[in-house]
Amino acid sequence: MNDIDRQARIHQLQNRRHALLQRREQRGAPVASIDMELNVVRSELQALYEVGRLQPPHRAAPTPPPQLA
């Protein structure tokens, strides 16, 4: 998964999480099933954030090694 796909998936999951939280607040909402789905969304978001932290930063050009005198 490249960084653009990862960011798009994060955006989708954040939107899903927001919708679930709003639905959870409605009267008569199936709270237990919404909570289970929220846990799945949170887990996937955490995994995607961790992948982003582990990836090295992108560079336009490689940095040459330092010259030894």
pTM of structure: 0.73
Task: Kindly report, residue by residue over 4-56, the tens digit of the pLDDT.
Answer: 899 999 999 999 999 999 999 999 999 999 999 999 999 999 999 998 888 76
Which one-letter amino acid corresponds to residue 68? L
- Three-state secondary-structure class, residue 25: coil
Question: Could you tell me the end-to-end alpha-carbon distance of the chain, in angstroms, rounded to an integer?
Answer: 42
